[in-house]
Amino acid sequence: MKKQLVKNSLTGILQAILTALLVFTVIPVFIKLLGAKEYGIFATIMVIGNLNTFINLGLMQSLVKFLAEQGKCDESDFDISVTLSLVIISMSLLIILAFVFKRIILINILNLTEYEVANVYFFYASVLLANFFLFVGQVFKSILDSIQKIDINNYLQIVYNATYWGSILVILLLGYGINYLGIAFLFSSILWLSLTIYFSMKHWGVIKLKGIRKEFKRITNKQLTYGVKIYASGMIAFFYEPFTKILISHFIGVTEVGFFDIALRIRSQIWGLISKIFAPLYPFLASLNDMNKVRKYVHDLEQKTFLVIVPIIVIFIFVIKSLITLWIGQNIEIISVTSMFILSAYMLAVTSMPNYQYLVAQGLAGKTIILQIFNVVFNALFFFLFLKTFGYYAAVIGNVAAILSSYVLSLYYQKKYLDSLIFDSFSQVSKILLVFVILLSIGFLVKLFIKSDLLIITIIPPTLALVTIVLYKLFKVITKDDIIRYTGNNKLLFNIGMKIFIW
């Protein structure tokens, strides 16, 4: 099991890295060939991809939970078939509504002009249809997740991302506009769905439907009873980032949506990389019945994650502007400021991810609703509070305030239900704060003497990483038991860990 968990995480890391390379390659080409405003329109319409949030019903997380608990049996086959039926029906209804009210969505809500709507209608339709295929595919992806075949899902995601972003790049280089990008979305989604169905059936086996009509109502109630809490959390989440883009488009401008979207894409790639590491944790926690083990895993993973995140936050603070300059080369200030604040806040939030997965996996999914409500309320509150004074940056302030508020609440839930926090003592907290201050000071001094963007990117990360290792070693932040726990029986990794972190 441990080897499979590691394999799942490593393939997730590979997938996240390759995806990031594709995204960071295509976006500057997009902006160079079509312009910042066209990218803003593209980012605005892609908000439609979040509409499936409204009919998600929490079915995927619910399906993973039940399949992980039950294993391969008739009950699990019923769960799969009922979930698939509900997904197809609900997604079909949503697409019909999106087509019927297309003008209201594009003009009145997303604030596009008549001319812009005429030029993007095919893309709009393609996004809707592609999301149908992607959402149906989530059922089969959940099957693979539940049996810890997450590595296969990661490989399939690589295929999807390569096809999607690669097709977009080809279409752009051939001189076509946004409308034709719908072809890339449709082709990649159909290919991914086909492959996901094939591999899920290969590893799960035949889905038995005998007796399903008699059990359909019971299974539906079972799925929705648990899933509705997760659904509410996800639906509320729509009014966070996607809704923020709508607010920016409506009150500020569609071009600024593009700036905000670029910052979110940078954050998403890093967030995706880290979340892939934690992806195997959800089905694993769902299968545990011993609360002491749950507490141990959540607490230890959060603590070690925090140790990794601290230097990463400081590195991003000092290199993000140089990265944006070399990557895009225009609108540097607004994108770099947005990215720096949002990335820093999200990196902090990453440390509570194991607790969030615990809440969902162990029957406390209702608490995630409150976490999402905090996100939405604080985001909207600070956006409107600072809109008149700071304009576009009100969206950044709202985003950061939302993250911090839900982070504090997550820690409260962890203390209440697991009787633990990330750190065990004030001594541990003070050491981490001291490391953070020292890294900030060194980064500031280095940047005073270096003006070249390339040198900043080349020198600051390894310098701060090396200083972090020395400080952790000096403060004895990592123990021998930690190294044994995370290296297992691998003597080579154990010896390396001992030499790096232990005197």
DSSP secondary structure of 327-348: HT-SSHHHHHHHHHHHHHHHHH
pLDDT at 391 over 70: yes
Other beta carbons within 10 angstroms of residue 497's beta carbon come to 18
Cα–Cα dist 324/283, whole Å: 37
User: What are the backbone dihedrals phi and psi of residue 124, each rounded to the nearest 5 degrees, phi first?
Assistant: -60, -50
More confidently predicted of 258 and 329: 258
Contact call for residues 294 and 369 (beta carbons, < 8 A)? no
Domains of the chain, residue spans = 1-228
Per-residue pLDDT averaged across 183-203, rounded? 93
Cα–Cα dist 293/305, whole Å: 18
pLDDT tens across 330-370, in order? 678 888 999 999 989 988 888 888 877 777 766 676 787 78
pLDDT at 448 over 80: yes
Cα–Cα dist 326/324, whole Å: 6
Cα–Cα dist 305/357, whole Å: 14
Q: How confident is the model at residue 237 (pLDDT cuts 50, 70, 90)?
A: low
Per-residue confidence (pLDDT) for residue 228, from 0 to 100: 60
Coil, helix or strand for 422? Answer: coil
Above pLDDT 70, what percent of the chain? 86
Per-residue confidence (pLDDT) for residue 311, from 0 to 100: 92
Which residue's entry shows tokens 């409204």?
A: 54
Q: How far is CA 272 from CA 16, 307, 413, in A?
A: 6, 18, 24
Q: Is 15 exposed, middle or buried (0-12, 13-18, 19+ CB in 10 A)?
A: buried
Q: Is 217 exposed, middle or buried (0-12, 13-18, 19+ CB in 10 A)?
A: exposed
Per-residue confidence (pLDDT) for residue 437, from 0 to 100: 95
More confidently predicted of 433 and 149: 433
Residues 6+ apart with CB under 8 A from 180: 122, 123, 171
Per-residue confidence (pLDDT) for residue 236, from 0 to 100: 61
Per-residue confidence (pLDDT) for residue 467, from 0 to 100: 93
Q: How far is CA 155 from CA 13, 54, 142, 163, 469, in A?
A: 11, 28, 15, 12, 32
Q: How confident is the model at residue 232 (pLDDT cuts 50, 70, 90)?
A: low
Per-residue confidence (pLDDT) for residue 285, from 0 to 100: 62
Positive or negative: CA dihedral 271, 276, 281, 282: positive
Choice among 26-40, 106-120, 181-195, 281-295 with the minimum mean pLDDT: 281-295
Average pLDDT across the chain, whole number = 82
Cα–Cα dist 123/111, whole Å: 16
> Which two tokens mark 61?
């997380």
Other beta carbons within 10 angstroms of residue 150's beta carbon come to 24
Q: Is 347 exposed, middle or buried (0-12, 13-18, 19+ CB in 10 A)?
A: buried
Coil, helix or strand for 478? Answer: coil
